[in-house]
Structure 1
């Protein structure tokens, strides 16, 4: 390590941190310290955010040991007022010199367009980084995203958990500071049980190895990967595959410092309960990893991660098996109890559960969704009565004991209970599919009925919440309307449903309470959905110009997400053609010519007024392409339509090379504008290709 830079280590030792907050706090602490270093002009190298249940740590390489010196210039009074008529310094000059602790003779002059000024130029010597770190680190800690802070002992300071030790080193030197009443040193702590004695950190770069010897894996990413591989391997040893849920992995990683894999079993009679319920119980209550066999069936086994290497693992496993039994017994009890009461008998109870104060109960929402579903059933190849019946039942499982205990099973349990009560498989599956996609990357509903309910559900939510004035603002989206809009759009596109967005939302608006004037908000919701479509397109690597080319060619009332997506794909394919750049430029030129001429170009072309060969050729080309292109457009074959229009490149180029559009003869001029309007209309029927990027 050079003498001008050193490795920085900061570790804050605490009581066990909230597992759901560890990653967020660790990253925020590192970001805050880096921000402080950057603001102070202190260069640094690689940054690592470390953390374990009892500690937050940051390790930064190649931190400059001092700030750089910084030249400065302070402007004083104008020379005209700094000296009198005898060139003696006035009080203004003397005061400015005194404020800079120099003589008037040490001041310099600055000539500007506004006149001459006295200036003092100097150099601020950079401070030692070690002197600046206490304030930098304290600011970073104060800015951590901690929703609820606590006090401990007789301290007046507050933090997420009581603080017990602070390590602050630059290479091998302790950086003196006091954090939450605790003085910094080089004494960390190891594993609470395997190594309860202090751990001396000789140098900042020794930190991870020193803690590893003390049974602490302090790199949370390394610890997570250790757990993942250990659980995967144990699942294979048990003859199956472990269910590796990312959220559970994160939580377990934040709970242990020294992961040790163990596995146990439970009574196979519990396997009569739907596997999702058993998995929710194991993951949510016990933080166990379930195991499936090679066919995907749940095994009566589980995997757990301990935070200690026990001398009697069998005893630990027996304890885990004893704890899980009553949890699974509860799930079995709920399963048996819920099946005694049909879903249809629970509908009256939905009248008492408020969805939203201004939008009524869950029963009201189910009726609205049923109405929308009935209206659009045939568009989804579904029987209207079946659609309305499924929509009516869709929330009944919310009143079951199982969903009350495991809210994440909403819809899933509705499917199981519906099958048990002899509902048709289509209806039963739709009770689960109405919620899909549940999260980013989740698949849409698999059946037409499920897709219909998913669309109706989201259309109702969007219109209702916008109508009561609760549209998302900034990062706040308490009703998850962005997710609802994306789910609606994805279902229409991936389900291949040609549904007009404004028409669907007007139908949803018609079912809202009359006092809300929901139809007044249809355009607003269409715009909101278009914004989501734009974000989806950008995420899928469509250039912004492609999206705008399609959007500008369609009125908001004409938006069909499936049709929009097909046009978008066609534009991307078109930009790959050699003629694309020339035709985009030509369409841009046509748009500008028509705008400046004040002519819409929608008059019919008179062939008798076509005087130049180039304009006759273009007219003939437009005429010969119009019918086949319109046929392709009617079949939504936009890619093929734009490929046909690309054939117009040569006659378009010749026209602009040989023909003066703005002829002196009014009739000739208007006829040429009409020809350009006809050409432009062919493209605009698909997209505004003038918005596409031209080749560089």
Structure 2
């Protein structure tokens, strides 16, 4: 029998849309892994999924495992025979192999000669291996939450109703979740609910398409996108495509049909973000913008049926969204009856962390740090303090309690309504930036000061009570807080010493059980985030280690050094100079050198050491002003010229001269050479 297509489909009740992609990929991975472990050849796999099914197609699946030669090793030859007769060890090994002793062979190894046995083992039929492979693939699925159904003890994400396993045109007997395999699948729940008998595994996609089901999730996703854009074009509008929403909607339908509805223009008086959150979170609608980027009183919904009366479906969606938007309008009007600043007292009732107090306590701690940062970066201290006081006030508003994703955004709207300073109001939204690695940073100095101070308070506080992140456990998102802080300082070109800021942040806490060594611990944790930052920038781990070896505590300076050493590492001279610095480091560490870099020129006798001394002296004069202005790349370009005199020195000069004065002078020369590079990084680490 030649290689055939294998089709596996598990039919279920509607799966959680957010879990479908992970379940589908895992199902395909499990089957692929099982086949690989069994040694069964196949050309490729494709995962399919809809809300009601997980399916995998395996193309060109061999009908059996390949035959293989099995070799077994028995006792050593010396232990297998005594006086020319087989011992019990030899006889026992022969019996285990199902042969007589004279049918065994001798195996020569580097450790001696052993009794052995070889046989040709025939591969098993693929159909006999599949039941165990499929059962393991199903039971290994990353189900977010199991449930039971009926009187059965079987558990899965949703009740399972059918199980298809076709190898070519043959059903492969197997069972999972209490279901026996067959060739029966089902189409769309409403358009084609009747059973479908699949004649061949290759008929799967067409048979379902004829039954109003698009099983290929990428094709279904593309259709949704095309339809949404087409509907928007009819209205001369721009559809805002949220990728997460697109994925979620894709997990809700088997036959997508885009429909456009409208809502009352009076709701446009409410901030657009409120309306959009309501439409996305509650109804899974795509919103529309006009030519000026303003929200239009319309939406696009994706229906799972192709109705003969689409106007009724649209009317139903319009009826549902109306009270949702009315709620948003009510929350907005209610919230504006109270000034944002008047809500600060309510923060005393909201616990930030049991051992760290309330949000009011957090604001009080952050205020001094934010004011200090504002002063350092040319901002306004009073604005920074005011923004810190108002920063979390919107968390106790009706709107944010209903839509938590609007925190900061609503703070800005309410602050503007109250007549707060424009920069203070903007900072309330900016405090949450950046939300991810490539996100924008706060544009205002007040926003930058607030964002950094708030994160440093969280980092020092959580570390200070002994809840450092471990593995995948990071409930307070400290990794994101650390990386966000670094990004603000780097992208904002803020010349801030992180150690000093951490010392100030720690000082704001009245009591921390893990206060000893806390500043250094948090500093090390934050600077370690540069490892991931470097990777994202295409900078090697060796370059990171070279810079990390130096006591640099200003993130902006750290990043400048990383980029400079990264460029230097690509130069032809870099490898030789890195090796030389490694050699210098080894020499100095082994000798009782006092660390002096003061060289006595009168003690220089060899031409090579004189040349190196002159080159180092000349370079120092050139690079000192470059170091002072953080022009590290330019400085390393100058230092690259040292390669030739360094190579000549090590080729022609004996460092460990008999005369102690000469020896110490040469060590000082090497130390002065090393010191030049250490102004940027320990480039010896590039040898790792």
Normalised by the length of structure 2, the TM-score is 0.96
Query: Could you say which residue in structure 2 is the equivalent of 1:561?
Result: 555
| Aligned residue in 1 for 2:52 | 54
Q: 1:457 and 1:187, CA in 2 relative to 1: closer, same or farther beyond 3 A?
A: same
Tell me the alpha carbon deviations over residues 9-37 of structure 1, each in whole angstroms, 9 at most, x when there is no partner: 10000111111110111111111111111
Question: CA 1:642/1:515 → structure 2, altered by over 3 Å: closer, same or farther?
Answer: closer
Between stretches 481-490 and 207-216, larger displacement belongs to: 207-216
- Candidates 569, 572, 575, aligned match of 2:569: 575
Contact 1:13/1:55 (<8 A) preserved? yes
Q: Which residue of 2 aligns with 1:649?
A: 643
User: In the alignment, which residue of structure 2 is the partner of 1:443?
Assistant: 440
1:277 counterpart residue number? 274
Contact 2:19 2:144 in 1 (8 A): no
Residue 318 of structure 1: aligned partner: 315
Distance 2:97 2:623 in 1: 79
SS in 2 for 1:10: strand
Select which of 364, 371, 374 maps to 1:374: 371
Contact residue 512 and residue 518 of structure 1 kept, 8 A: no
Aligned position for 1:521: 518
Distance in structure 2 (CA, Å) of the matches to 1:5 and 1:633: 67
User: What is residue 330 of structure 2 aligned with on the other side?
Assistant: 333
Q: Which whole-Å deviations, capped at 9, do the CAs of 1:328-376 have from their partners, x for residues lacking one?
A: 0000000000000111111111111111111111111111111211222
Q: 1: CA distance between counterparts of 2:572 and 2:116?
A: 62
Number of residue-to-residue matches in the alignment: 688
Instruction: Tell me what 2:14 maps to.
Output: 16
Q: What does residue 37 of structure 1 align with? A: 35
**Pairwise mapping of residues 119-518 of structure 1 onto structure 2 (< 5 A)?**
119-518=116-515
Change over 3 Å in CA distance of 1:570–1:603 after alignment to 2: closer
Out of 611, 616, 619, the residue aligned to residue 617 of structure 1 is: 611
Could you tell me which runs of 5 or more consecutive residues in structure 2 were left unpaired when the two chains were aligned. none
The alpha-carbon distance between structure 1 residues 656 and 74, as it changes in their structure 2 partners (threshold 3 A), is closer
Q: Distance in 1 between matches of 2:68 and 2:472?
A: 39
Structure 1's 81 and 568: CA in aligned 2 closer, same or farther, altered over 3 A?
A: closer
1:438 Cα deviation from its structure 2 partner: 1.6
Q: 1:598 aligns with which of 592, 607, 610?
A: 592
TM-score (normalised: structure 1): 0.95
Contact 2:465 2:514 in 1 (8 A): no
Q: Distance in 2 between matches of 1:159 and 1:648?
A: 68
Q: Distance in 1 between matches of 2:617 and 2:77?
A: 79
Deviation at 1:693, TM superposition (A): 5.2
Q: 1:517 to 1:109 in 2, by over 3 A?
A: closer
Alpha-carbon distance in structure 2 between the residues aligned to 1:105 and 1:621: 80
Pick which of 412-421 and 73-82 moved more.
73-82
Change (3 A) 1:604 1:422: same
Q: Is the 8 A contact 1:380 1:449 kept in 2?
A: no
Q: 1:86 to 1:674 in 2, by over 3 A?
A: closer
Q: Do the aligned partners of 2:465 and 2:512 also contact (CA within 8 Å) in 1?
A: no
- Change in 2 beyond 3 A, CA 1:578/1:213: same
8 Å CA contact 1:463–1:518 kept in 2: the answer is no
State the Cα deviation string for residues 182-228 of structure 1 (Å, max 9, x = none): 22111111111111122232222221122112111111122112212
Please tell me whether the aligned partners of residues 580 and 646 of structure 1 are also in contact (alpha carbons under 8 angstroms). yes
Over the aligned positions, Cα root-mean-square deviation in angstroms equals 1.9
Q: Which residue of the partner structure matches residue 675 of structure 1?
A: 669
Change (3 A) 1:93 1:683: closer
The answer to whether the aligner puts 1:588 opposite 2:585 as a matched pair is no
Hey, what does 2:660 align to over in structure 1? 666
Residues 610 and 112 of structure 1, relative CA distance in 2, 3 Å threshold: closer
How far residue 91 of structure 1 moved from its aligned partner, in angstroms, is: 4.7
Given that 1:550 and 1:568 are in contact with CA atoms closer than 8 Å, whether structure 2 keeps it comes out as yes
Q: For the Cα contact (< 8 Å) 2:463–2:514, is it kept in 1?
A: no
Q: Secondary structure at the match of 2:19?
A: helix
The verdict on how the C-alpha distance between 1:675 and 1:104 changes in structure 2, with shifts beyond 3 A counting, is closer
Secondary structure in structure 1 of the residue aligned to 2:349: coil
Q: Is the 8 A contact 1:537 1:547 kept in 2?
A: yes
SS in 2 for 1:546: helix
| Deviations, residues 405-463 of structure 1 (Å, cap 9, x unaligned) | 00000000000000000001100000111111123422111111111111111111111
Cα deviation, 1:118-148, whole Å, max 9, x if unaligned, reads 3332233211111111111111111111132
SS of 1:351's equivalent in the other structure is: helix
